[in-house]
Amino acid sequence: MAQQSSAGDVSGGGSPAGRSADRPAPEAMPPPRLSVTVQPREDLYAMLDAVAAREVPDNILISAAAGTGKTVLVADWLARETAAREIAWLVLGPADNDAEELRRRVVGLWERLSSAGRPTVLVLDDAHEVRDDVALGVLASLVDSAPAHSTVVVACRRTPDLPFSRYALDGTLTWIGWEELALGRPEATAIVEEYGHSLGESDLDALLELTRGWAAPLRLAAIRLSNHTDPSGAIADLVRYPQRISEYVVAETLDALPAYLLRFIEATSIVEFFDADLAEQLDEASVDRVASDREKFGVPVVRCSSDAAGVRYGWHPLIRAHARAGIRDRDPQRVARLHRTAARWFLEAREPLVALEHLVALGDEAAIDELALLHGLTVVFDGRTEELWNLLGARYADLPAVRYLRALAAVEQNCPDAARAFLAAPDSASTSGGVASAATAFAAALSVEIAVIGGSAMPKDALAAFEECGPSGSADLDCYVALQHSVARMFLGDPASSERLLREALSLGDVGAHPRLILRTLARLSILSGVTGDLTTMSLRAGHALEYAAAHGLTDRIDAFQCAAAVCMDTYVRSEQLPDDSPVHALAVTSPRRTRPDGTSAPVSGGHAEVAFALLQARRTVRPTTAEADAVSRALIGLLSRGPQAGLSNTLVTPAMAVVLDAGRMNTAAQVIEKAADAFGEIPDVVVARAMVELHVGRTGAAGELLATVRDRPLHPALAVRAWLLDAVVANREHRSDDASVALSRALELAEPARIVMPFLDCAADAAELLAALPPGGEHTHEFVVHVRAKLLDANAGRNPGLTRTEKVVLGELATGRQLREIARELHVSLNTVRTHTRNLYRKLDVASRAEAVETATRRGLL
């Protein structure tokens, strides 16, 4: 909508400009013209249209804090109205608390509107200004006397004491609050662009997370951004100091609150989210009363739901920032008490990371060290280590328990050297009190696991530490210590004690030990059976461990799903299919996701397993669908973005590239290569992926040049097979048959030991043609060549040309030598239909005649 200005303009939230607070406005005025570029709210316009179209009198309550766009919404809606309506806009102010003066203003108003002989809309703007009971009675009489085909719109910052409950029961009330008014991503983008900026996705997310679509602060933020050359830095500053864009609108909200409600908001602003129980711990006010009055006074609240915690509430980020700043300035001792209360509550709720936030806010090193020791394992096993390190920062990095947790996290990442370094670092402080022996046992347990994954000698002194310590009271810590004690016994030749300790560790699952520790214990029981030579029991225990992992959603854990991902990729490269009743197959087809604390999601299975599952799913059919290819690319790009592991993540690049190219997703292929290059640089996997793209678009020479740079380097077997096979394709397309045969033989030689077949299927048409011309000899066996050919036939070797099922039938008929008319009669279709399919065949096979089509199809194994 174009910008407009007049003496009655509004600029985004509030009354028309130029209106004096102590001088009554005229009886009524037309809707104000707007001095801002309005972002269309079609959903709300449709809601308002539907209400205004009703025959019976109806009421619309728009109640929200200052600057949320109430006036803008109604004014723009009325400006867009095409129906013939009589419109009156009444702006209320402090002077309207004089009931007689208000009655003078509205007397005869309905009579005039009713006599217009058409539907009417009356807007009561700034209705929160009227608080006098008699004056409110005047407004109620005005609303109650509304004629048919009339609509009353009440816009306010705080809900006035009008009989809205009765209207709601009568079915004549429509309510619009701040959540409905909140601007979304499209509107936020348009406002920022209006002031000459364009934000990236992450910056826009941060801006929306801060403002939650609150119109006035969002526009002020856009104005501030227009004065900065670094939007990301400017947004980061706003997140740290949001008062710059919200001081007025938040003050307008908080200053109008009764003392008890403001005190409650300040107390609960200490935490990000709270439920009724936590709120009662933090403040003595009645939660039910607060919930009711919070809505009446228009204080924006956000909701957070989770299966574990149920529904929790939190204040709008801008409200919370102002409230926290206020209480810190006025009563720091109360702030300290609130933090301790919150820390205790979150520990009892099994949310140690949130509890730790409050202890960090207090700066209590002893309490932080004890919490990290007794409850930090839960945080690490929950996969939230980065949050933990960011929370503790450099200030607490050298506390003994924090170093132990860093060692544990390094062990979980299979980095024994880093773990050893953290464990060996000198103490900056000593763990004191009744947890000192638990700290010693934790350090001993870490030294055992470091020895196992690092291939070093088992530390014999760890046994003494285990024997001397008693239970710590933390199920997770006691389970971890018992688990590593059992491992030490196992590798020191005492399997009976190891079995006993593992069974003790399993029993701690009944008192709350982390499922990941239980899974690891089950895996260690399987290993113990293997060490003692009981392979049957080992297999049974491993199967049970996988079932436990599936049942408990532990698909992102190294003990279960690094193996599962390896099984999946082994199945994939051999072009096999997992049995439908396989636990890994069940996980692959369900691919569950978990929600992070910020609301985004990640695969429960972990990034590597997600890609492996998507690859296997994409190759269950002749050609991957667009959705399947997009699932592969999303999974891989997500993995590369979240922190890939060199030597593991990179092996997924070329298989994913084959699927993406097979589905024709060229833009996605470019994104995958860009992400991979950013993550790893120009490693062979990235170079081969680039060569695959060049071949796909017909730039054979460029593909050959790329392959020449990596072909003779030490490569992962699957990558080496793919590189040599692509080299053979290049040579064949350049009519260098001898070079093609040499490269193909090398690819077959490398593929045969592990039965690697998928690279041949990824370029099936070329592979079929190459195999048809393969001379006898070579290091590969004839049996493997036959195996590859059979896989090509099973998987439909002609998928690269993209032949449809009907085209394949017509191709077979063309090979019989029949005339097209005869083929049409045989297939019960028209002659023109057969001609169309034949033309499509010629185009896809890149031939000009029937003879060439039959000859090419024969070479490619399509017939």
Tell how strand 173-176 and strand 58-63 pair up.
Answer: parallel
Q: Which of 280-289, 555-564, 691-700, 811-820 has the lowest mean pLDDT?
A: 555-564
CA neighbor of 72 nearest in space, from 147, 14, 134: 14
**Distance (Å, rounded) from C-alpha 189 to C-alpha 654?**
36
The token pair that represents 767 in the structure block: 């592979």
The answer to whether 623 touches 582, Cβ cutoff 8 Å, is no
**Distance (Å, rounded) from C-alpha 234 to C-alpha 117?**
55
Label residue 274 left, alpha or beta by phi (over 0 means left) and psi (-120 to 50 means alpha): beta
| Residue predicted with more confidence, 226 or 34 | 226
Tell how strand 120-125 and strand 150-156 pair up.
Answer: parallel
Do 601 and 706 have their domain in common? Answer: yes
In a domain, 346, yes or no: no
Give the residue from 295, 330, 365 where a domain finishes. 330
Answer whether residue 426 shows pLDDT above 70.
no
pLDDT digits (tens, 9 = 90+) for 598-609: 566 666 566 777
The answer to whether 453 touches 414, Cβ cutoff 8 Å, is yes
Q: Which of 21-35, 85-99, 220-234, 341-355 has the lowest mean pLDDT?
A: 21-35
**Distance (Å, rounded) from C-alpha 567 to C-alpha 579?**
12
Do 160 and 193 have their domain in common? Answer: no
pLDDT digits (tens, 9 = 90+) for 289-319: 888 888 888 899 888 876 566 788 899 999 9
Helix, strand, coil percentages for the chain (3-state, nearest 5): 65, 5, 30
**Distance (Å, rounded) from C-alpha 104 to C-alpha 135?**
11
Answer whether residue 22 shows pLDDT above 50.
no
Specify the residue for token string 């609050």: 177
Residues contacting residue 465 through CB under 8 Å, at least 6 positions apart:
440, 441, 443, 444
Do 590 and 636 have their domain in common? Answer: yes
Tell how strand 593-595 and strand 601-603 pair up.
Answer: antiparallel
CA neighbor of 491 nearest in space, from 454, 451, 444: 451
CATH number of the CATH domain containing 518 = 1.25.40.10
pLDDT digits (tens, 9 = 90+) for 49-80: 999 888 887 899 999 999 999 999 999 999 88
Answer whether residue 199 shows pLDDT above 50.
yes
Do 171 and 310 have their domain in common? Answer: no
Residues contacting residue 182 through CB under 8 Å, at least 6 positions apart:
68, 212, 213, 214
Q: What is the rounded average pLDDT of the residues 773-790?
A: 84
CA distances from 10 to 13, 211, 625, 810, 840 (A): 7, 21, 52, 71, 63
Answer whether residue 594 shows pLDDT above 60.
no
In a domain, 457, yes or no: yes
Do 189 and 131 have their domain in common? Answer: no
pLDDT score at 860 = 66
Answer whether residue 24 shows pLDDT above 50.
no
**Distance (Å, rounded) from C-alpha 738 to C-alpha 744?**
10
**Distance (Å, rounded) from C-alpha 562 to C-alpha 680?**
21
pLDDT score at 512 = 82
Q: Which of 421-430, 488-497, 557-566 has the lowest mean pLDDT?
A: 557-566
**Distance (Å, rounded) from C-alpha 734 to C-alpha 118?**
81
Do 212 and 325 have their domain in common? Answer: no
pLDDT score at 588 = 65
The answer to whether 619 touches 656, Cβ cutoff 8 Å, is no
Do 721 and 672 have their domain in common? Answer: yes
CATH number of the CATH domain containing 130 = 3.40.50.300
CATH number of the CATH domain containing 854 = 1.10.10.10
Q: Give the per-residue SS3 of 695-734.
A: HHCCCHHHHHHHHHCCCCCCCCHHHHHHHHHHHHHHHHHC
Give the residue from 292, 314, 330 where a domain finishes. 330
Answer whether residue 563 shows pLDDT above 60.
no
DSSP state letter for 621:
S
For residue 156, what are the domain limits? 42-181
In a domain, 752, yes or no: yes
The answer to whether 33 touches 65, Cβ cutoff 8 Å, is no
Answer whether residue 501 shows pLDDT above 60.
yes
Looking at the chain, the whole-number percentage of residues with pLDDT higher than 90 is 43
pLDDT score at 593 = 66
pLDDT score at 540 = 65
pLDDT score at 641 = 82
Do 172 and 217 have their domain in common? Answer: no
Do 281 and 296 have their domain in common? Answer: yes
| Residue predicted with more confidence, 862 or 838 | 838
In a domain, 292, yes or no: yes
Do 157 and 193 have their domain in common? Answer: no
| Residue predicted with more confidence, 277 or 542 | 277
Do 625 and 704 have their domain in common? Answer: yes
Q: How many domains does the chain have?
A: 6
The answer to whether 656 touches 687, Cβ cutoff 8 Å, is no
pLDDT score at 607 = 74
The answer to whether 373 touches 381, Cβ cutoff 8 Å, is no
Give the residue from 181, 201, 230 where a domain finishes. 181
In a domain, 427, yes or no: no
Answer whether residue 610 shows pLDDT above 50.
yes
In a domain, 48, yes or no: yes
**Distance (Å, rounded) from C-alpha 758 to C-alpha 306?**
42
In a domain, 480, yes or no: yes
Residues contacting residue 95 through CB under 8 Å, at least 6 positions apart:
21, 22, 23, 24, 101
pLDDT score at 2 = 38
120, β-bridge pairs: 86, 150
Q: Which of 43-47, 285-289, 760-764, 780-784 has the lowest mean pLDDT?
A: 285-289
Task: Residue 64: count other Cβ atoms within 10 Å of its Cβ.
Answer: 28
Q: What is the rounded average pLDDT of the residues 320-346?
A: 93
In the structure, what pLDDT confidence band is assigned to residue 388 with cuts at 50, 70 and 90?
Answer: very high
Q: What is the rounded average pLDDT of the residues 262-267?
A: 93
In a domain, 592, yes or no: yes
CA neighbor of 669 nearest in space, from 654, 683, 681: 654
CA distances from 46 to 49, 64, 77, 638, 757 (A): 5, 20, 9, 38, 57
Answer whether residue 211 shows pLDDT above 90.
yes
In the structure, what pLDDT confidence band is assigned to residue 220 with cuts at 50, 70 and 90?
Answer: very high
Q: H-helix or E-strand containing 121?
A: strand 120-125
The token pair that represents 642 in the structure block: 């979240």
CA 597-324-596 angle, 5° bins: 0
Answer whether residue 128 shows pLDDT above 90.
yes
Q: What is the rounded average pLDDT of the residues 346-364?
A: 92
As a dihedral over the C-alpha atoms of residue 813, residue 817, residue 822, residue 827, rounded to 10 degrees, the angle is: 0
Please give the single-letter amino acid code of residue 727: D
| Residue predicted with more confidence, 659 or 794 | 659
Tell how strand 86-91 and strand 58-63 pair up.
Answer: unpaired
Answer whether residue 262 shows pLDDT above 90.
yes
pLDDT digits (tens, 9 = 90+) for 674-726: 999 998 899 999 999 999 999 888 899 999 999 999 988 888 888 999 999 99
In the structure, what pLDDT confidence band is assigned to residue 375 with cuts at 50, 70 and 90?
Answer: very high
CA neighbor of 59 nearest in space, from 128, 125, 123, 136: 123
Answer whether residue 12 shows pLDDT above 50.
no
**Distance (Å, rounded) from C-alpha 782 to C-alpha 321?**
73
Q: Which pTM was predicted?
A: 0.56
Tell how strand 58-63 and strand 120-125 pair up.
Answer: unpaired
pLDDT score at 10 = 43
pLDDT score at 289 = 85
In the structure, what pLDDT confidence band is assigned to residue 83 with cuts at 50, 70 and 90?
Answer: low
The answer to whether 69 touches 183, Cβ cutoff 8 Å, is yes
Do 592 and 688 have their domain in common? Answer: yes
The token pair that represents 350 in the structure block: 């099994």
Q: C-alpha 186: how far from its chain's center?
A: 19
Looking at the chain, the whole-number percentage of residues with pLDDT higher than 70 is 86
Task: Residue 805: count other Cβ atoms within 10 Å of its Cβ.
Answer: 8
Specify the residue for token string 């409200």: 319
Can you tell me whether residue 362 is helix, strand or coil? helix
Q: What is the rounded average pLDDT of the residues 168-182?
A: 93
Angle between helices 461-468 and 475-491 (to 10 degrees): 140
